[in-house]
């Protein structure tokens, strides 16, 4: 059995282990170790691969951006800034029929610009928006579907943890990927808003018959108190990055410090809560580190087998073209989304696919946006659907089942797929803003 056969067999074994319930990083590490052992007939060399990957994969200065943005997102969530965002958006749309759905999407878009984590958005707005939509007459499936669908904006609108992860794996600029995510994120937000308007107007059996919210408006001063800190935090992080004042890693540090200071000043982050989010940040960062370490091992094992090079040569010879390759790639990611979380999908697939994309002269920044949108569709698909499980775990209403949330999220998954097709067919939607980047 030659190295190419070993590489191909490793993929099959990986699929079997994952479907058998083995944790993804353990499966990655085990397959990589055994694969190198067989190829080199030397367990010592395989062990050295483990050691080298452990140090080299996470020693980059760039990787420091992950815990910083995670900390910022968790602090913002803990400090209840998501509710402030919802209140401000609700003031803008509450007089429109179905306005609470539009408010949820708008609030999620703003919240995404200061969190970068879809799960945080899902948890916050399941508590804040779902009860309000049920109160005015929306059906439960529609209410949870709006939250589940719009929560994915946290991974597309920068700063985004998945865009950071793609940048690390593909050796691309985090700043370029953040800029490339802006227009697709805005497009997705508008598409969700149009979809909600159509559902409320033409599909009352699904959306319900919502009343126009007649509760008294908050005063301008109260809204300003809620809005200004949010705008300041977004401007601090994104303005600093796009204005060339600091790197994305430095922006993560500034944003985390700004979020903590803002929450403490407003009395919304007791020291006990600050300790809790710090510990949770450590847990999330450690799990991502473990995944990246084992994914690096897996990438090196595949490289030694020659499988990525062989696949690239096969695709070029088959002449399926860029769009044929991307169609197959998107289909693979969506299928994997039924059983895996977003980070795991990227860490398994990208080491195999990026060499192919390079050989086909595909713009990796555009490819990164395609990847993130496709991966995020998996957060809404059964049986895993991580955002769906987060919403179910957050809701106090036990009558809303997992099936209800999956059915409610289905139209939004279709809207995401339509936007993904648009991004594929119109690459400039991702890359146009890059021409205005500060050198």
175 within a domain of the structure (yes/no): yes
33 within a domain of the structure (yes/no): no
241 within a domain of the structure (yes/no): yes
CB atoms inside a 10 Å sphere around CB 151: 32
85 within a domain of the structure (yes/no): yes
pLDDT of residue 332: 82
pLDDT of residue 151: 84
327 within a domain of the structure (yes/no): yes
DSSP character string of 174-230: HHHHHHHTHHHHHHHHHHHHHHHHHHHHH-HHHHB-PPPP-SPPPPHHHHHHHHHHH
Q: What is the mean pLDDT of each run of 10 residues along the chain (439 residues)?
A: 75 76 79 82 77 69 72 75 72 74 83 71 77 83 88 81 84 85 91 91 84 62 71 76 73 80 78 83 78 76 73 69 86 77 78 84 92 86 72 75 85 93 92 75
* 3-class SS of residue 138: strand
Residue 121 to residue 307: CA distance in whole angstroms = 38
pLDDT of residue 162: 85
State which residues form the domain around 82: 60-436
- CA dihedral 220→223→224→227, nearest 10 degrees, is -150
pLDDT of residue 167: 87
CA angle 185, 151, 333 (to 5 degrees): 75
How close are the terminal C-alpha atoms of the chain, in Å? Answer: 50
408 within a domain of the structure (yes/no): yes
Prediction pTM value: 0.79
How many domains in the chain? 1
17 within a domain of the structure (yes/no): no
10 within a domain of the structure (yes/no): no
Helix 271-305 and helix 24-40, axial crossing angle in degrees, nearest 10: 30
Tokens 């980047």 appear where? 437
């Amino acid at each position: 059995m030659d190295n190419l056969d070993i590489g191909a067999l490793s993929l099959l074994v990986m699929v079997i282990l994952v479907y058998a319930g083995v944790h993804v990083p353990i499966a990655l590490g085990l397959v990589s170790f055994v694969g190198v052992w067989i190829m080199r007939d030397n367990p010592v060399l395989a062990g050295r691969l483990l050691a080298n990957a452990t140090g080299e994969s996470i020693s980059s200065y760039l990787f420091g951006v992950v815990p910083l943005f995670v900390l910022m997102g968790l602090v913002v969530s803990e400090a209840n800034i998501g509710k402030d965002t919802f209140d401000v958006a609700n003031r803008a749309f509450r007089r429109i029929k179905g306005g609470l759905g539009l408010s949820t999407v708008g609030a999620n878009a703003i919240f995404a610009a200061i969190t970068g984590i879809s799960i945080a958005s899902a948890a916050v707005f399941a508590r804040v928006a779902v009860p309000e939509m049920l109160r005015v007459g929306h059906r439960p499936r529609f209410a949870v579907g709006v939250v589940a669908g719009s929560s994915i904006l946290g991974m597309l609108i920068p700063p985004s943890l998945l865009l950071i992860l793609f940048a690390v794996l593909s050796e691309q600029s985090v700043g370029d990927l953040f800029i490339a995510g802006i227009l697709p994120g805005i497009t997705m937000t508008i598409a969700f808003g149009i979809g909600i308007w159509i559902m409320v107007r033409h599909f009352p059996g699904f959306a319900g018959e919502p009343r126009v919210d007649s509760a008294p408006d908050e005063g301008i001063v109260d809204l300003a108190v809620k809005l200004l800190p949010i705008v300041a935090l977004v401007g601090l992080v994104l303005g600093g990055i796009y204005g060339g004042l600091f790197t994305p890693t430095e922006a993560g540090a500034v944003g985390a410090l700004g979020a903590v200071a803002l929450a403490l000043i407003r009395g919304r982050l007791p020291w006990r809560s600050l300790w809790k989010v710090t510990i949770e940040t450590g847990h999330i960062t450690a799990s991502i580190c473990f995944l990246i370490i084992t994914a690096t091992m897996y990438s090196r094992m595949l490289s030694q087998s020659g499988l990525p090079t062989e696949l690239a040569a096969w695709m070029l010879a088959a002449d399926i073209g860029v769009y044929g390759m991307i169609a197959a790639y998107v289909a693979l990611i969506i299928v994997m989304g039924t059983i895996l979380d977003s980070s795991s999908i990227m860490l398994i697939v990208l080491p195999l696919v990026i060499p192919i994309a390079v050989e086909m002269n595909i713009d990796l920044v555009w490819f990164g946006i395609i990847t993130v949108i496709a991966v995020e569709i998996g957060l809404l698909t059964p049986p895993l659907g991580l955002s769906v499980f987060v919403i179910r775990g957050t809701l106090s209403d036990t009558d809303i089942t997992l099936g209800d949330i999956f059915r409610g999220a289905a139209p939004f998954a279709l809207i995401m797929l339509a936007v993904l097709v648009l991004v594929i067919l119109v690459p400039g939607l991702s890359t146009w803003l890059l021409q205005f980047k500060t050198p």
